[in-house]
Amino acid sequence: MTPTLPTLLVLDADPPPRLGRLTGRARIEHTDAAGLAGRLPAADVLLVWDFTSHAVRRAWPGTGPRPRWVHTASAGVDHLMCPELAVSDTVVTNARGIFDQPIAEYVAALVLAVAKDLPRTLELQRERTWRHRETRRVAGTRACVIGSGPIGRAIARTLKALDVTTALVGRVPRTGIHGPGDLDRLISRADWVISAAPLTEQTYGMFDTRRFGVMQPSAVFVNVGRGGLVDEDALADALRRRWIAGAALDVFAAEPLGEESPLWGLPGLIVSPHMSGDTVGWRDELGSQFVELYERWAAGRPLRNVVDKKRGYVPGH
C-alpha cells in the first residue's frame, strides 16, 4: 500500500517558490489569501510564502484541524501570529539566517550615504550644480543597535568594521548585550540609532515622542525592523522640529507606503520600499532553506529556527 504523502499548502506570492526537490515527497497545493481558511484543515504543513499577508492571522481561528507546522519566509512572525496559533501545538519556524548580512550591508550603506551626504550629491548632479561641501567622518562615531538577534548582531559586526563604536540592546542583558534599562542612556549618546527588533507587544511603538526627544540633535534614526516599532507621527514631528538630524525607513506601519503619505516629503528622511534584505537570488535561498527544513521534518528530526510563539522570535540567540 502506497503511503499517504503529507499535504504541503503554500500561501502563494509571485513568483512562487521552487519546490521541485519535494516532488514525490509531498502533495503540494497552492492557495491565495481568499482560499486559505477553507484549505487549512487538510494541510499538514503551511508555507507562508506571501510573508506580507495577514491571511493566516485571519484564517487560523476557524474550525477543523490545523497544520502541524507553519513556516514563514520572513524573519518576523507578527503578520501571522494570533492568540489561537500562539496557544496551539503547531510549530512555527522562520527564515532566520537569510537576511542577516544583506540587511547589515544595507544599514552600513545608509550610514555612509547620510554621513557623506550622497543624496544631496545626486540631487546637485541632476541640477548640474558644482557645490563643494564638507561631510561627516564615520570612524569614531557611536551606534546603538536595538535588537540582539542575528540581524542586529550582523549590523553591529559590520559597523564595527567601519570603526563605529557599537552598543547592542536586547530583551535580556547578558555578556556583550545591554538590556532595555540601558536603552535611553545609549540612544542619548548615539550618532546612529538603528532599530532591528522584532515586533511584539513590548516593542510596539517603542520609538515615540519621548524616545526621539532623548536622542541628540545630530543623531540619525534607521529602522530595518518592523514599521510598528515606530510612531511615524512622532518621527515626522521630530524631523520637522530638527530634534534629530535625519532618518532612514525601510519598513512602515502600512505597506506599500501610499503616495499621499507625508513621509515622502519630510526633511532628512530616506524612504526605501522594504528591500534591505532582498539581494539577488534571495527567493531561491528562501526556497532552499524551506526544503532543507521539510527534509528534517519528514525524517522526524528537530526543526531549526523554531519561534517562541509567545515571545514572537527565535529565542536563545
Active site residues: 226, 255, 274
Sheet holding 45-48, edge to edge: 27-31, 7-11, 45-48, 69-72, 91-93
With a CB cutoff of 8 Å and minimum separation 6, the contacts of 162 are 108, 111, 112, 138, 139
C-beta separation of 60 from 273 below 8 A: no
Specify whether the CB–CB gap between 309 and 85 falls below 8 A: yes
CA atoms within 13 A on the CB side of 181: 3
Give the SS3 label for residue 116. coil
Report how far apart, in Å, the C-alpha atoms of 52 and of each of 62, 75, 165, 209, 274 are.
Answer: 21, 11, 34, 28, 10
- Cross-strand pairs, 168: 145
Question: 250-258 long-range CB contacts below 8 Å, 24 or more apart?
Answer: 250/106, 250/222, 250/223, 250/224, 250/274, 250/275, 250/276, 251/223, 251/224, 251/225, 251/226, 251/227, 252/227, 253/227, 253/228, 254/227, 255/52, 255/227
